[in-house]
Each structure stands twice: as C-alpha cells, then as structure tokens.
Amino acid sequence: MADVDAIRAVTHKVNPREVMSPTVTVLVAASILFGNNAAAQTPPRSPDDLVRYLTYQSDRPNMHGLVKGESIVFSCGPFLGEARDDRALTNRLVAMGSSAVSSLEEALNSLEANGEKSPVAPKAHWLLLAYANVQGSAASPRLRRMIGKPVLKDCARSLDESVALSLGLTSYVSTFRKLKEHQCKVGDSDAVTLSSGPCKPASSEIPMLNIRCDRGEEPRDALDQLILGVETGDRLLLEWSLGPQARSALRQLPKKTTRAMLIRSGSGSPAVGYRFTVAGRWSEPDENLVQDRPQGNLGGNYINPELETSFTNRAGGSCGRVRIRFSSTPVVPFPNGPRHYSVDYADLAGLMNVIAACANDTSLPR
C-alpha cells in the first residue's frame, strides 16, 4: 500500500461531487478545508430511508467534512473515513437483497435523468456498486446502457467499476472514462498546467496523476491505461502504459500498422473487460465492498509478475486469453515499498489486436 503520510503531504483541489470513491484524479493545486463533525446516528432500516441517509438527504451527520463547500485540502484521512462509512452503509443496502432493488432503481432513475444535479449524485459510486452487487450479472445490461450518456460523465469510472463487480471481472474499461483534460509540463520546471486540447509541444504532455488512498499501484492500472489507449486511438496514453520491452516493440511497429490498430477500435462505444486468473486482491474488482481487504497477491511476488489474463467483450463474453508480463519499478522515494507497474509484453501487436477485437465484437448490438 502507498505511504499514506507521504500522500497526505500533497495538497490538491478536489470537487466534493467527485468524491465517490477513495480514488482521486488530481487536476489542480490547493484550496481550503471545510466541513464539520457531528455525533454519529443510527442509520434507518427501510431501503428508501437508507438511500436518503447514505446520500445526505436526511439527518446523516457530516463526519469527515466532505459534503459541503466547493473545495478541500486533499488528505487521505477524511477520504478513507468517508469511504469506510459509505461502504458500511452500502453493505446494509446489499444485505436487504431484493427488497432494496426498487429503491436503488429509483435512485438510478434520478441519476440518469439529472446527472450531477440529482440529489443522489454525490454518492452515485456506492449506489451503482450496491445495485451491481444485489443484482449480479442481471445488473450489467442497465449499467452498460448508462455508459456514454453525457449527463453521467462524472460517473464514468464508477459505471465501469460497477459493471466489473456485476460480471465478476478484475476490471472493465469503456471509452467513456477517458479524461478530456490534458496535463502539460511547463518548460523544464516541475510546474504543470491543464489544457482542454493536446499539449504543445506534444512532448510536454504527461499522464494525469491518480492518487489512491486505499491501495498501492497494481498491474490493473497499467493494463486499464493500455486498453483505453487502444480503444480511443490515443498513442500517448498507450506509450505511458508500457515498460521498456513493450515500448521497444511499439517503436518497431510501422506507424501505419499501429495507427490502423488504434483507429479500427475508435468507432461506436467500445469497452473491454478482463480477469487476472490468479487468487488474491489483484484479480478482484477494484471495489468489492469488503471493508478490510488484504493487500497483495501471488504470495508477495510483486516484482515483474506474469498474469494469465482472460479478456471479455463489453457483455462479458470471452474473447481472448493472454499471459501478460508486467515490469515493476520502485516508487521514489520508497525503494522497498510500493511499485509502479507497466505492461511489458513482447508481442505488443498481438495483445493490441486481441483488445481491439474484443472492443469491436460485431456479434453484439451497439
């Protein structure tokens, strides 16, 4: 797991409406802390009332200061505390089983109709996961229909994670989750700026920073990025996901061939799922509603792992299998701690072809 104290030292501006999970995509620098604490209260018992309580529409106390206001000083403590409380409430909904479905569907109807203006929007992440958990694979068709709706753009990653949970996948990557902002490095300094268009020069563009409060980096992060790069035809995104061996393989591919592989998966609404066929957290959905999940995988083997990966089309049907090698490097300044993972598979063209074929599965209706 990442060094939380080190992350806490980093201050960033975060929109509270984006605080749906312990994952934060950092966009700009710091602002002001806000919020208040209140005594805890007993959550209600009916599904309708519990949904209202979870979404702060009733008398739920603001324990962690992440509800009111426009921005906060980023700190993992409040984020993890709020997520822990939200997860516990979500599990209460899940425990209600089929009796909670009507209330959850009503909340999702509000979300679909109103997007971020819906009163349930700040906790959409947890409502989507509750629906996926209660309904299982039966939730997938509705969740997939929600992907791509402009009014739900702030829920893109949450929708992907919910489909993964409903289908029992390690991850599910749709083009909907691609960020529209570009992060550009300013000259030779450490400063960065945001741009609505590609950075100029192109070499100044750097990956958007993701801060994880709940876990260290995992191989899924690199593979998600590679899949999104293939799906959207974004060569930079693709390059950022690769280790030295795979990057060398990419350079050896004729640009025309590479461009064709990227472009042919760029139409419609492609999405690809996958499972790492190993035991442990690395193979599980990113959020599975388990409150205290153990860290790690593969008996502690974090260095340059090779993971058998079963790919699926957007409906969860099997469409390919590849044993992928990931290179790993220590995260500065923690030589014996968390690691950064990159896809480092020598047959990169073959892997990209599998991903593109899964994304473009013509047996499925758009």
Q: Render pLDDT for 240-270 as a digit per residue (tens, 0 to 9).
A: 999 999 999 999 988 777 777 776 654 457 8
Residue 197 lies in a domain: no
Region 324-335: what's the mean pLDDT?
Answer: 81
Region 162-179: what's the mean pLDDT?
Answer: 95
Residue 172 lies in a domain: no
| pLDDT band for position 85 (cuts 50, 70, 90) | very high
Task: Give yes or no for a contact between 35 and 65, defined as CB atoms under 8 angstroms apart.
Answer: yes
Residue 131 lies in a domain: yes
Q: Does 231 lie in the same domain as 347? A: yes
pLDDT(27) > 50: no
333 cis-preceded (ω within 30 degrees of 0): yes
Question: What confidence score (pLDDT) does residue 40 get?
Answer: 46
**Would you give the distance in Å from CA 146 to the centre of its chain?**
16
Question: What confidence score (pLDDT) does residue 209 get?
Answer: 67
Question: What confidence score (pLDDT) does residue 253 get?
Answer: 86
Task: Give yes or no for a contact between 147 and 271, defined as CB atoms under 8 angstroms apart.
Answer: yes
Sequence length of the chain is 366
CA–CA dist 119, 20 (Å, integer): 13
Question: What confidence score (pLDDT) does residue 11 get?
Answer: 31
Q: Is 174 helix (H, G, I), strand (E, B) or coil?
A: strand
Question: What confidence score (pLDDT) does residue 233 get?
Answer: 87
DSSP 147: T
Residues β-bridged to residue 23: 212
Domain termination residue (choose one: 81, 104, 135): 135
Question: What confidence score (pLDDT) does residue 325 get?
Answer: 96
Q: Does 311 lie in the same domain as 221? A: yes
Question: What confidence score (pLDDT) does residue 188 get?
Answer: 81
Question: What confidence score (pLDDT) does residue 310 get?
Answer: 98
Task: Give me the numbers of helices (H) and strands (E) for the chain, helices first please.
Answer: 12, 12
Question: What confidence score (pLDDT) does residue 184 get?
Answer: 87
Task: Give yes or no for a contact between 65 and 72, defined as CB atoms under 8 angstroms apart.
Answer: yes
Residue 146 lies in a domain: no
Region 120-147: what's the mean pLDDT?
Answer: 97
Residue 176 lies in a domain: no
SS (H, E, C) 276-340: ECCCEHHHCCCCCCCCCCCCCEHHHCCCCCEEEEEEECCCCCEEEEEEEEEEEEEECCEEEEEEE
Q: Does 223 lie in the same domain as 355? A: yes
Question: What confidence score (pLDDT) does residue 298 get?
Answer: 55
| pLDDT band for position 180 (cuts 50, 70, 90) | confident
Instruction: Identify the residue with better confidence: 203 or 265.
Output: 203
pLDDT digits (tens, 9 = 90+) for 344-362: 999 999 999 999 999 988 5
To the nearest 10°, report the CA torsion of 37, 42, 45, 51: 10
Domain termination residue (choose one: 98, 119, 135): 135
pLDDT digits (tens, 9 = 90+) for 96-114: 999 999 999 999 999 999 9
Q: Does 241 lie in the same domain as 351? A: yes
Question: What confidence score (pLDDT) does residue 30 get?
Answer: 30
Q: Does 255 lie in the same domain as 125? A: no
Number of domains within the chain: 2
Question: What confidence score (pLDDT) does residue 28 get?
Answer: 36
pLDDT digits (tens, 9 = 90+) for 331-347: 766 556 678 899 999 99
pLDDT(119) > 70: yes
Residue 141 lies in a domain: no
Q: Biggest alpha carbon distance in the chain?
A: 63
Domain termination residue (choose one: 118, 135, 152): 135
Q: Other C-beta atoms within 10 Å of 37: how many?
A: 10
Rounded alpha-carbon distances, angstroms, from residue 365 to 84, 153, 189, 254, 314: 38, 22, 48, 32, 10
Region 199-226: what's the mean pLDDT?
Answer: 85
Q: Does 14 lie in the same domain as 116? A: yes
Residue 231 lies in a domain: yes
Q: Does 333 lie in the same domain as 230? A: yes
Q: Does 245 lie in the same domain as 112? A: no
Residue 17 lies in a domain: yes
Mean pLDDT score of the chain, rounded to an integer?
Answer: 83
Q: Which domain holds residue 38?
A: 4-135
Q: Does 11 lie in the same domain as 126? A: yes
Output phi, psi for 70, to 5 deg: -110, -25
Task: Give yes or no for a contact between 230 and 345, defined as CB atoms under 8 angstroms apart.
Answer: no
Question: What confidence score (pLDDT) does residue 205 get?
Answer: 83
| pLDDT band for position 326 (cuts 50, 70, 90) | very high
**What is 73-114 written as a DSSP string?**
---HHHHHHHHHHHHHHHHHHHHTGGGGHHHHHHHHHHHHHH
pLDDT(220) > 90: yes
